[in-house]
């Protein structure tokens, strides 16, 4: 399976997070015309306590967050606003790891008018793009990443999370 979901918090079963992860993964791969069977990702579906530990350990930030991602290698582009280098199947087909928090996702979706499945799908697509080398560290990169997210989500039948683009 190209994306393996490790269920650490069973509340994720109510959302069928495995199906959401698989759909998001395949949608991102197809957007970039990559064979989803060639690459792998592992995703931890956890709670706020666990993601806060991970956020502290890896980013030095002492709080929970909605989603984290750890690329297996640095795939970021050399210049702002550019696409990362084109990925090709190779001996290093593991893209990286993702962790997503049930508690934060539910809290954040309650203040929005979005369906929880759409919100979680957006976060999975967002994290996948990070694994592929995209970032939102500056305005130029953020616009590029958000544009790609909106295009992928649109193909999945999900409205833009950023309003009108």
* 103 in any annotated domain: yes
* 137 in any annotated domain: yes
Q: What is the CATH number of the domain that holds 63?
A: 3.40.390.30
Mean pLDDT, the chain, as a whole number? 91
pLDDT in tens, 66-87: 999 999 988 887 787 777 877 6
The answer to whether the beta carbons of residues 46 and 67 sit under 8 Å apart is no
* 60 in any annotated domain: yes
C-alpha–C-alpha distance, residues 124 and 118, integer Å:
10
- Enclosing domain of residue 47: 3-155
pLDDT in tens, 123-155: 999 999 999 999 998 898 899 999 999 999 999
Per-residue confidence band for 91, with pLDDT thresholds at 50, 70 and 90: low
**pLDDT value for 89:** 53
* DSSP-assigned beta bridge partners for residue 45: 7, 100
pTM comes to 0.93
* 24 in any annotated domain: yes
The count of domains in the chain is: 1
* 163 in any annotated domain: no
* 164 in any annotated domain: no
* 160 in any annotated domain: no
* 165 in any annotated domain: no
């Amino acid at each position: 399976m190209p994306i393996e979901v490790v269920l650490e918090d069973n509340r994720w079963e109510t959302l069928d997070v495995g199906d959401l992860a698989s759909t998001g993964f395949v949608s991102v791969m197809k957007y970039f015309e990559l064979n989803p069977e060639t690459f792998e990702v592992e995703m931890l579906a956890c709670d706020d306590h666990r993601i806060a530990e991970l956020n502290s350990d890896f980013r030095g930030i002492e709080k929970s967050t909605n989603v984290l991602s750890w690329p297996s290698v640095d795939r970021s582009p050399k210049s702002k606003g550019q696409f990362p280098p084109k990925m090709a199947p190779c001996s290093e087909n593991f893209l990286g790891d993702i962790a997503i928090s049930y508690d934060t996702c539910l809290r954040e979706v309650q203040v929005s008018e979005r369906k929880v499945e759409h919100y979680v799908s957006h976060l999975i697509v967002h994290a996948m793009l990070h694994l592929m080398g995209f970032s939102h560290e500056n305005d130029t990169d953020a616009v590029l990443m958000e544009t790609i997210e909106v295009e992928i989500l649109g193909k999945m039948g999900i409205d833009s999370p950023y309003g009108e683009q």
